[in-house]
Chains A and B, each alone.
Chain A
Amino acid sequence: MHAKGWSPDWPKGRLVSLMGDAEIDEGNIHEALLEYWKHGLTNCWWIVDYNRQSLDSVVSDKLFMKVAGLFDNLGWKVILIKYGKLLEAAFREPGGERLRRWIDDCPNQLYSALVFEGAKGWRRQLEAELAGETETLALIARRSDSELARLMTNLGGHDMTAILEAFASAPEGQPVCFIAYTIKGHGLPFAGHKDNHAGLMNKTQMQEFRQQQGVNQGEEWEKFAGLRRPREEVESFLSRVPFNAKGTRTLKAATIPVPDIPLLDVKGKISTQAAFGQVLDGIAKSGGPLADRIVTTSADVTVSTNLGPWVNRRGLFSMESKEDVFKTRGLMSPQRWEMHPKGQHIELGIAEMNLFLLLAAAGLSHAHYGERLIPIGTLYDPFICRGLDALNYACYQDARFMVVATPSGLTLAPEGGAHQSISTPLIGMAQDGLAYFEPAYADELAVIMGWSFAYMQREKAGKGTPAPVAQWATEGASTPAPVAQWATEGATKITTWERDQTGGSVYLRLSTRPLDQISRPMTPALRDDIINGGYWLRRPEPGTNLAIAYMGALAPEAIEAAGLLAEDRRGVGVLAITSADRLSAGWHAAQRDREQGRPEAVSHIETLLSDLPRDAGVITLCDGYPETLSWLGGVVGHRVRALGVEHFGQSGSLPELYAHYGLDANAILTAAEGLRGRPVRYRLGG
């Protein structure tokens, strides 16, 4: 923000993360550490709760300090908060150094067990192990049972003075990792016990604990019950707590106006991936607030996902300016990658968890920092699964971003089975907070991108108050956020739903397969249909008995099959699906609305399929798992044959693979025969 000259009056804050020691086992922590180093992270505190107990056991003793070395290697300041003030004072007494060595060498298991056993256990153990160390034994003997137990459990992470000293010693301009030694269950009767992770105190223990805390029965929830200081003093202290000084922490940012995204002037064929690169390049070239707020990122596939032209125009983000060495040396390269603080592309190493974590962070910029960003991340579609947990987490936090996954499905044919995505359409449909589109044509993509930039900025009416669900999407006045003009002009009135009104993130599943484009005017009705999830590319004739519903880059197969069927099946309809996700969400919403007493509610897919005779069959076609579209049969009651990919891919040409997995025109013709019995005469040769 500061690098961009935004929020000049807002002080730089810190990112503080309180984490359990066992979290260090998660790989994404290490992926993030490497990326932090590359980007020169500062203003960050990680505070590790080193209670040396993971879920089932006690974390192995020596490993953790190796991890501390890792932080150090990567330029972090590591600050141990190890001993409390009582222990430090005891170490200074005669025999104290021996006590320090004993604690340092004490295996975590034993330490935990002694914490649980209490004073008698400590005394017995220390006297046995330190036999002959008269000064140390005297140090121990000078302490009563309760003093000894307090001393031996006086770890840094439970000593307020030690903690504040550590925070005060933290350097600026460097990330800091505090490793605070703590005791799981500190202050509770089961402190230290290895089985205490999800253990609960019983009623008797709780009653004793309540009495110890000075809380009377019936006052359990009272704010000031049991406090040993005057209430006024505590209230006065609380009213001056800096954390609270500015009220609510969730900020608001103005919405970025979304200009009309021009349709591309395509000569010949183009893929949706190439169209994406061109649309973004057009935005970069024409400039304006939207262009300035877009931040792109990619996990090492910037060029192969077509972000190159955007990066050439807008530069790479870096805290410091760096020249493009190839350019300054006069060497030819299509990539002109200059790095500077105004750059708008963040290049990541190949770690998809980081990609989605970055999208989550950038996508919350409006709420965290009061400055809105429009983050766009690109990756290969199959690798969504590699970052899926972080994607889910980003959506759960209501972060707003666009993820462009390309190539996808069998169009990754030459890459073989491991690189072909099958399950991602179902992820796109099932992931809450993510609107999934899979367009076929460049004009559809431009419309979807324009809509998405506004959708990503829609907001809930108010926290905790769900927006009303039964309003009409086409009534512009009740729409909570900027909606492009055409939305008010549409002809059909269909049910909207909560997520549609409150906005979310967007997933575009794109292809590298170049398609011939359709020359057509982009009418307001067509725009609405594309956003709502589909339209009749070829309207079914009355009395027809078949429709083909296709998604994305399989459009040519659907059109070809419809042509071949012309003589045997009259007036076959071709349904273009741009978003199975929004079609099904709208259908669910309309059913719910009708159940709740709004009989007029109707969804887009119901409107579309009402044009098809009830006894007609529907063949669905999708480059992914077939159930993505098979639900279409449940809408009105059409019989469905769902074609799609059910098994791992393999390398091959696209026609070979479409034939092998049953997605080509001939597969559609065979399905047509299966649905209606009568033979089909014309097939593709070969």
Chain B
Amino acid sequence: MEISRSSEARLHLVKSDNAHLGPDPEVIAMLSELERKVLWLSTYMIHHANHEVDRGDGLKVGGHQASSASLLTLMTALYFHVLRPEDRIAVKPHAGPVFHAIQYLLGNQTVEPMKNFRGFGGVQSYPSRTKDNADVDFSTGSVGLGA
């Protein structure tokens, strides 16, 4: 599907400086609430894959709850407020669950693949252009690539 490129949309998005990104108490309150929600979803996604389903192969499923949490506030601010459609983003691989949870809240991801995090057909451990169904701009996973 071709993205609409009407000049109206462009005018709306062109920015001469970044001052409008500055803190507005209403926005801060909403973002902080979404941050809590993303923390829950990303943490639970990893927990569910490791403790609530048996994939039958005896292997540890894994996931990075701590390393996801450290980027949580930044990613919440970026995806729900700062980023624009024309921006292209590479996400630190271990923060994959945060990315998936945000896409879910934005309506770009469904529950089933998240229930199947790191499983066959589920959301990928590290965001993948080719394997994830939400739009991933850059696949990451090899340390240092994607920057």
Contacts and interface: CB of A to CB of B under 8 A. Distances in A.
Interface stretch (A125-133, A136-144, A235-243): A235-243
B72 A187 contact: yes
Contacts of A229: 29-30, 33
A396 B4 CA distance: 28
A517 interface: no
Interface of A: 9-20, 22-23, 25-29, 32, 46-47, 49, 51, 157-161, 163-165, 167-170, 172, 180, 182-188, 190-191, 193, 196-201, 203, 206, 209-210, 213, 215, 220-221, 223, 226-229, 233-234, 237-238, 241-252, 357, 364, 367-368, 370, 389-390, 392-393, 396-398, 463-464
A67 B101 CA distance: 32
- B interface, how many residues as a size bin? 35 or more
Contacts of B13: 11, 242, 245
Interface string B1-37: 1111111011001101111111100011111111111
A398 to B, nearest CB: 5
Contacts of B20: 168
A371 B75 CA distance: 28
Given A18-B71, A185-B65, A251-B2, A243 B84 contact: yes
A160 B31 contact: yes
Contact of A157 (B74, B95, B133): B74
A39 to B, nearest CB: 15
A200 B72 contact: no
8 cross-chain pairs, A with B, having the tightest CB-CB distances, nearest first: A26-B144, A13-B86, A185-B66, A168-B22, A249-B135, A246-B85, A196-B66, A182-B70
A486 B74 CA distance: 53
Contact of A49 (B47, B70, B107): B70
B65 A164 contact: no
B18 A172 contact: yes
Contacts of A191: 66, 69
B65 A199 contact: yes
B30 A234 contact: yes
A9 B10 contact: yes
B61 to A, nearest CB: 9
Given A184-B70, A188-B65, A200 B104 contact: no
Contacts of A49: 70-71, 74, 92, 95
Given A167-B77, A389-B145, A249 B44 contact: no
A239 to B, nearest CB: 9
Contact of B108 (A28, A220, A244): A244
9 contacts: A17-B146, A20-B92, A187-B69, A198-B64, A199-B66, A244-B106, A248-B135, A389-B145, A397-B139
